[in-house]
């Protein structure tokens, strides 16, 4: 084990300007504000403008995180973008973000773990930093899920939205950062569940993009168990208990799933950050968007113990414990 530690220096979020409410959706599909709010907690979602791509959202969130840290792109040597909705099949959206930010050094690549992408990307950045492959990383979760939706399928189109969130992580300074940093992470996947939540297209299978398909009830059934599994695993590795947590920042897919996980783990609702009402499920962007909100409004403060968690297509799932 290395005594090196990775700290989170700053976070930032970006949501496209256009808001689509439940009422607006109810004009085009057989649904209602009441059903969506009751079953999911979602009230509205943001939709990227025509010509506004995942790399644009990612770049905006990345700029915000750099601004909040007082850093420029010269200070970053790794960009990881977690996304399921890349601008193009290749190159990696991270390289487009690198170009838009004017970075010509270091490295940039994408991670595809759907809704768990940000937790996977943070864990990857943490490993790169601890092994000395990178010194400071811009980790972004960014999605334009609206482009993958079948807008006639009420079972999926009401659930997702577009957005991006970013974090800057760097090697801790032994003197000034004392106990701060990423304390433990757990990542899991089980591909036997691939067809419960997937996109029915791709370059190799159909030579097209496809649409989101989901067996909602099946995903729901597995979600709480998977979330609690990784949260307990991270607590065990780090030696902390649920009672030590100051904040629980879960993947924002459905408020009922978040509430179910909170109850099962015994985390009081006032310690749970909820933003799903305002931006729906933004896949890899949901955890960093929730983090950015709770840091900006002063809830998450230096020294707080923060548990991140996500689960999604694959299935993939994971959790990360951070001393802020």
Specify the residue for token string 């025509």: 50
Q: Six-digit token pair at 150?
A: 């079948």
Nearer to ligand UT7, 234 or 257 (CB): 257
Q: How far is the CB of 115 from ligand UT7 (least distance, A)?
A: 4
Q: How far is the CB of 284 from ligand UT7 (least distance, A)?
A: 10
> DSSP 3-state assignment of 202?
coil
> DSSP 3-state assignment of 156?
helix
Q: CB–CB of 84/112 below 8 Å?
A: yes
DSSP 253: S
- Residues annotated catalytic, as ranges: 115, 251, 281
Give the residue from 186, 184, 288, 268 showing the smallest Cα distance to 227: 186
Give the residue from 322, 58, 20 showing the smallest Cα distance to 146: 20
Nearer to ligand UT7, 10 or 252 (CB): 252
- Whose CB is nearest to ligand UT7? 216
How many helices (H) and strands (E) in the chain?
A: 10, 13
Nearer to ligand UT7, 129 or 276 (CB): 276
Nearer to ligand UT7, 145 or 324 (CB): 145
Q: How far is the CB of 88 from ligand UT7 (least distance, A)?
A: 24
Spatial distance between the Cα atoms of 305 and 296, rounded to a whole number of angstroms: 17
CA torsion 209-317-52-147 (nearest 10°) is 30
Contact positions vs ligand UT7 (CB under 6 A): 31, 35, 39-40, 115, 154-155, 158, 197, 216-217, 219-220, 223, 251, 253-254, 257, 281, 312
Q: How far is the CB of 157 from ligand UT7 (least distance, A)?
A: 8
Q: How far is the CB of 50 from ligand UT7 (least distance, A)?
A: 25
């Amino acid at each position: 084990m290395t005594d090196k530690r990775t700290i989170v220096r700053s976070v930032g979020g970006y949501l496209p300007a256009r808001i689509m409410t439940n009422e607006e959706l109810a004009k085009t599909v057989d649904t209602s504000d009441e059903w969506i709010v009751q079953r999911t907690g979602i009230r509205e979602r943001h939709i990227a403008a025509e010509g506004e791509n995942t790399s644009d959202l990612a770049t905006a969130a990345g700029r915000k995180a750099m601004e909040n840290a007082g850093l420029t792109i010269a200070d970053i040597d790794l960009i990881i973008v977690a996304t399921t909705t890349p601008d193009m099949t290749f190159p990696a959206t991270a390289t487009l973000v690198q170009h838009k930010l004017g970075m010509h050094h270091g490295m940039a690549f994408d991670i595809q773990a759907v809704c768990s992408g940000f937790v996977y990307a943070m864990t990857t950045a943490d490993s790169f930093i601890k092994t000395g492959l990178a010194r400071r990383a811009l980790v972004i979760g960014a999605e334009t899920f609206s482009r993958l939706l079948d807008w006639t399928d009420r079972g999926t189109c009401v659930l997702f939205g577009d957005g991006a969130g970013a974090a800057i992580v760097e090697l801790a300074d032994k003197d000034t950062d004392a106990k701060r940093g990423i304390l433990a992470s757990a990542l899991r996947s089980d591909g036997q569940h691939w067809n419960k939540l997937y996109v029915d297209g791709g370059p190799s299978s159909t030579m097209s993009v496809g649409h989101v398909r989901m067996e909602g009830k099946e995903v729901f059934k597995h979600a709480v168990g998977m979330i609690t599994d990784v949260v307990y695993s991270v607590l065990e590795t780090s030696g902390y208990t649920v009672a030590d947590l100051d904040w629980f920042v879960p993947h924002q897919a459905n408020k009922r799933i978040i509430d179910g996980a909170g109850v099962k783990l015994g985390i009081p609702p006032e310690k749970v950050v909820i933003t799903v009402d305002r931006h729906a499920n933004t896949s890899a962007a949901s955890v960093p968007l929730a983090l950015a909100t709770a840091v900006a409004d002063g809830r998450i403060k230096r020294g707080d113990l923060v548990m991140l968690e996500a689960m999604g297509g694959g299935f993939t799932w994971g959790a990360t414990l951070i001393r802020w």
